[in-house]
Chain A
Amino acid sequence: SQQGEEDPQALSIQEGENATMNCSYKTSINNLQWYRQNSGRGLVHLILIRSNEREKHSGRLRVTLDTSKKSSSLLITASRAADTASYFCATDANSGGYQKVTFGTGTKLQVIP
């Protein structure tokens, strides 16, 4: 499996519900980032959590990081139809002396009005 695998692959919820997406990775990381992508467009950076942080909040977003389990979760509270998009985690790790950002496979979220 790839560095950075999201689970579930797809998620469909009603507006107002919470959405939780998980990301698992393999190697030690410096930080983990979450991005959002609307269909066929570029990715938008949502939040970055460093390896020494356990939880981070930004508006309706809550990210947790468990380095012992090599996993992270993204929680979107009180979802809106406009949250419909694909969400990617990206791990930032050492690679040959430089940092390398590797993206996961993404979770496709559909929020039904």
Chain B
Amino acid sequence: KAGVTQTPRYLIKTRGQQVTLSCSPISGHRSVSWYQQTPGQGLQFLFEYFSETQRNKGNFPGRFSGRQFSNSRSEMNVSTLELGDSALYLCASSLGIRVQGHYGYTFGSGTRLTVV
């Protein structure tokens, strides 16, 4: 079965612009989580969606937002981009939210965002 698909693969944007990243989870997976990965900060949790509702949120400013659609596909949006937003953004899907059991993540290949 198809894995987690993230689009686009690479993106270059200018400071002040906004960007939308997309993630299609594995068929049947209802939970989608987003992570930001940078050399300095490592993997930082952004948010988790389940059944179109945000279930958990990391410590990122309000410029970072997301949503999940009825087909479990998710998007994340970053407004007013800053140079420090340059990172690899990873999406991960799982069968359910953690409270429902012990599930591992399946990650997509990520979107490499460069802000210039």
Task: List the interface of chain A (C-beta within 8 A of B).
Answer: 2, 30-31, 33, 35, 40-45, 48, 50, 88, 90, 92, 95-106
Contacts and interface: CB of A to CB of B under 8 A. Distances in A.
Contacts of B88: 40
A100 B105 contact: no
Interface string B59-101: 0000000000000000000000000000010101000011100
* Consensus secondary structure, chain B interface: strand
A33 B107 CA distance: 13
A42 B102 contact: no
A92 B56 contact: no
A3 to B, nearest CB: 11
Contacts, number: 67
Contact of A45 (B45, B56, B104): B104
B110 to A, nearest CB: 5
Interface of B: 4, 6, 33, 35, 42-43, 45, 48, 55-56, 88, 90, 92, 97-99, 102, 104-110, 112
* Consensus secondary structure, chain A interface: strand
Nearest to A38: B109
A9 to B, nearest CB: 11
B97 A41 contact: no
Contacts of A105: 42
